[in-house]
Structure 1
Amino acid sequence: MTCFSEGNPIPKYTWESQTDQIHETIRPFVNISRKDAGNYTCYASNEMKRTFGDTEHGFNSSSIYLNIMYPSTIASLEDVSISEGSNLNVACRVQRGNPSYETISWNRQSDSKNWMDSQLTITNVSRADDANYTCTLQNTIIPTIGDKTLTVTSRTIHLNVLYKAHLLNYSVLNSIAHDSVTVAENETVGLQCEIEGNPTPTCGIYNEHNSDMEYHIKYSHNYAKCSINFKASCLHIGVYKCKGANVINKSGYTEKTINIFVECSPRPSPSVPVMDHVFAEIDTSISLYLTALSYPKPNSVLWRKFDGKSWNNVNESNNIRIYQSNLDFGMTIIRASKADFGEYKLFISNAVGSYIHNFYVEYSAASSQSDVHGNTGLIVGLTIVLILLVTIVTVFGVIWYRRRRNHDGPDTDVNNSYQNVSGANSQQNSNDNEYEKIGLNVKDSENTVNGSSKCIEDIEENNEIPVTYEKLADDRKDLNQYSQLHSTKEIQDGNETEKNASSCNEEQHAELSKIYINMKI
């Protein structure tokens, strides 16, 4: 900027601004920027010295505003991820320029669709809206010095539309069937599945026989393809499911199934073991069974038994049950006899072929069946315990009896007899009651010495006659069926007898020392 003024003598110049002061006629600007905008003032002055009179000072000034013009710019924008079905609203944020007048628009690169607004708005976003979007800003600058200038700036974002995994295709290669396919045994089978989704989904084909299959999978943007190949056998009959998902599939997988049928002759299923040899006892139940693999299903099933010379058909009867459920075959002998032991054959046939399975039923005193095995230990244990109890009771009874007999000496002539306390017939009651009450009567004979009656009266007063053996209570009967009946009163030895019947003579002591034990097992 140049400052000029007329005067005599020639004026001096000074440029002043808010930031500096320059004593020059010209105020230069290098690489001008928006920070240089503002008011600038030029001052001109001179000093007039007259010949006559005082010196006079001359002064003048002029100001100018410097307006720096620059275009508007777009602030930073970031990519947007949004779920399918949602509404989109993205603003193109602008940093204002000088002048502030501009035009803003959005453009979609995939189909050149335009939005003449600073807001990018899409209702119900679909996966077709997944694309790049550009915000464009235009400025027109008309300076007082220089030419008119048009400036254009832009920024681009990517709209990432997230959507659930979706199964596009699942089929058997080289087959026009979609849901069910029948192949021959040993034929090569291929299954292929394609799934789309954003984020990129998983993909898998599942069946219980995956272990012997060749498996392939390929991923690309929003796409997954998986496939399997195998040589068909009877084991490959079943349902094959393709399924996949991504983080948007909150409700579960997208999936589809295909049924594979392999034509094959009957054979045992490897997943269900067969008991070829069965050991059993007479009068027990015997079951023979087999689970098969077969397609198509068997059209003929026959059980046969070898009688030593020829094979005879086994038919259902009151003692034999023959059953079939899908591919499960069985025969049950309800109560086995000696004639039921031997060799059996199961014949299974379908349209492809046939299969024969041999069963052997053998006699065993100790059956190998699980219920017999489970009870044998318990039975043996109980038997041993009972034998030991009987032995112990018997031994102690004999020892005690012998000791009493040696102590008491030879039998006397006293007449001793047993009566049923209830007065009923002993034989009859023995059949009705497990235990009987027994009384001991000591009768006075003609040879009894004087004083014996008094001795007996003394004993009766002491409740020592009759000697009673009581019946066991029911609750004890179950605890130990080998129980000795306990007497109400026992005369242990001569000393006790002498104490209880001191008026009796020695002969009476011998008579009263006899003890009678009734024990029933």
Structure 2
Amino acid sequence: MKNYSVAEGSTFRILCPVLPGNPTSQTLQWKSEGNYTMATTAVLSISNVSRENNMMYICILTYMMKPTGSDIEEVGEVSKTFYLRVLYRTIITKFTTNDLQTGTVVVSYYDTVQLTCVVDSNPDSNISILFNETILEQTAKSKRLTFNMKKADCSNAGVYTCIGGNEYNYGNMARANLTVFVKCKPRPSVVLRQIQTVKSALNMPAKLTFTAASYLDPGKTSFIWMRQRGLTLMPLDDDKNIIITTIGLQSSLTIISATHTDSGNYLLIYKNSVGSSNFTFKLMVTASLPRPGAYGDSSNTGAFVAVGVGTFVTTLIIVGIVFIVNRRLRRRSTLSTQSHAVETHPDKQTTNANTKDYHNINEYELIQVSKDVTDRKGNVVGCQTGTSTETDSSMQYESIDNSKKDRNQYCQLPATRESQTNVASETTDQIILDNDKSNSSSEYINMRIQM
């Protein structure tokens, strides 16, 4: 029989190749490695194949026969074998150091550390060991990979990852992590930039923040804040104007309302089980608002920005109001001057009128100053004299005293105009009529029109 390969999780069936004999008395069974009986029929069936089914199988046929002319019954046995190769995805069985530590490993400074990754797969796997997503070591078609870390340094501390897989992982690679802590003196974090000089405005919050590197012994890092005055160091603690907060590897000191006396140097001493280090901050408290970004980690950034924006908006509003008020005052002054000029010098005003188009006088009728006078519907009419109407073609016009004059400069409007109590002008292009200057006649209002 030939060998077979089948993927894990599938169903496998095979028939034992038996030819019937004479006589037909026979027994049949399937056995696996270890002489374990799998079946007693001609068909071997395995549902949901697993990697434990990866082994040799044998089909055994036992028969009994009595040869012709013999009284002795013979017992015979024949067999056929095949190997079932189960194909399955990669799993990582262990990821350890040279002393078989797993999960979290603590090593000393300058130690030599060996990381070993072992996988189980069929076929063999592609394996890689990474640190901070950078490949340190890799191999193909193997079940084991080793990486040697010589003279461990603080920079070697962190999370290491073993990745393995074959075609039956279908892109979902197997992963295992190993965290390595290196015992060394603490130092600032290289991920978060430390702001050494902090600027703050007067009477505003000032915040000093420090973050240590993550390779320190977990739970064994302590922080001590001190105020430096010359050669003297004074320990600081929480009070009504100071708040000290420490979470994990980060510690901060906040001055709620900074004054000029708070300016100076602040020393932070931080230590772990191996040793200690320190970091010095310089705080500068100024009367004016610091330039954005100049005060580093100070927590009053939002307040400064809000005050600046508010001041700018307020200034714009004040300038706008002053501009509008000034414009209206200038407009009123202009209108007042023009009105006075019209009332004082009517001849001069009407003389200039022949070059302009006059629009609405107050909310009443439009009076076109030209050679004609229009009615309410806009029809061109002449000046009225009783029941007659003179047109532009007439050579003479009737005066107030009923005498005939050549092209008199005056004409009479209907008495309906008399109801206008005050015809005022809003621009220099309009005529201002005042009832105080109207004719005493109940029938007409005299208006002078330049022809």
Same fold (TM over 0.5): yes
Shift in Å, 1:321: 0.7
Amino acid at match of 2:4: D
* Residues 1:225 and 2:171 aligned together: no
Distance in 2, matches of 1:364 and 1:216, equals 60
Q: Secondary structure of the residue that 2:212 maps to in structure 1?
A: strand
Say how many residue pairs are matched. 337
Q: 2:206 aligns with which of 283, 286, 291?
A: 286
* Residues 1:499 and 2:431 aligned together: no
Measured against aligned partners, the alpha-carbon deviations of 1:461-520 in whole angstroms (never above 9, x if no partner) come to: 9999xxxxxxxxxxxxxxxxxxxxxxxx99969998752444799xxxxxxxxxxxxxxx
Residue 177 of structure 1 aligns with which residue?
Answer: 101
Q: 1:275 aligns with which of 170, 195, 200?
A: 195
Measured against aligned partners, the alpha-carbon deviations of 1:8-34 in whole angstroms (never above 9, x if no partner) come to: xxxxxxxxxxxxxxxxxxxxxxxxxxx
Distance in 1, matches of 2:222 and 2:115, equals 33
Distance in 2, matches of 1:272 and 1:490, equals 76
Distance 1:110 1:351, change over 3 A: closer
Distance in 1, matches of 2:223 and 2:85, equals 63
Unmatched 5+ residue regions in structure 2? Answer: 68-77, 294-300, 342-418, 441-451
Greater relative CO, 1 or 2 (CA 8 Å, sep 6+): 2
Q: Secondary structure of the residue that 2:333 maps to in structure 1?
A: helix
Shift in Å, 1:337: 1.4
Residue 235 of structure 2 aligns with which residue?
Answer: 313
Do the aligned partners of 2:30 and 2:41 also contact (CA within 8 Å) in 1? no
* Residues 1:365 and 2:288 aligned together: yes
Shift in Å, 1:119: 3.2
Shift in Å, 1:179: 3.8
Residue 93 of structure 2 aligns with which residue?
Answer: 168
Shift in Å, 1:272: 1.5
Distance 1:463 1:87, change over 3 A: same
* Residues 1:214 and 2:136 aligned together: yes
Distance in 2, matches of 1:126 and 1:287, equals 61
Distance 1:156 1:353, change over 3 A: same
Distance 1:408 1:308, change over 3 A: farther
TM-score by length of 1: 0.51
Distance 1:295 1:129, change over 3 A: closer
Residue 118 of structure 2 aligns with which residue?
Answer: 194
Distance in 2, matches of 1:135 and 1:306, equals 89
Shift in Å, 1:171: 1.5
Shift in Å, 1:282: 0.8
Distance 1:337 1:229, change over 3 A: same
Distance in 2, matches of 1:492 and 1:113, equals 117
Shift in Å, 1:323: 0.9
Shift in Å, 1:267: 1.2
Do the aligned partners of 2:243 and 2:254 also contact (CA within 8 Å) in 1? yes
Residue 518 of structure 1 aligns with which residue?
Answer: none
Distance in 2, matches of 1:188 and 1:156, equals 50
Do the aligned partners of 2:339 and 2:432 also contact (CA within 8 Å) in 1? no
Do the aligned partners of 2:424 and 2:432 also contact (CA within 8 Å) in 1? no
Unmatched 5+ residue regions in structure 1? Answer: 1-75, 143-152, 410-460, 465-488, 506-521
Alignment of structure 1 residues 320-335 onto 2, 5 Å: 320-335=242-257
Do the aligned partners of 2:421 and 2:434 also contact (CA within 8 Å) in 1? no
Distance 1:299 1:260, change over 3 A: closer
* Residues 1:89 and 2:13 aligned together: yes
* Residues 1:336 and 2:285 aligned together: no
**Identical pairs, percent:** 23
What root-mean-square deviation, in Å, do the aligned CA atoms of Structure 1 and Structure 2 show?
Answer: 4.8
Q: Secondary structure of the residue that 1:265 maps to in structure 2?
A: coil
Measured against aligned partners, the alpha-carbon deviations of 1:48-91 in whole angstroms (never above 9, x if no partner) come to: xxxxxxxxxxxxxxxxxxxxxxxxxxxx967341536x764301
Alignment of structure 1 residues 113-128 onto 2, 5 Å: 118-121=42-45, 127=51
Q: Secondary structure of the residue that 1:376 maps to in structure 2?
A: helix
Do the aligned partners of 2:3 and 2:82 also contact (CA within 8 Å) in 1? yes
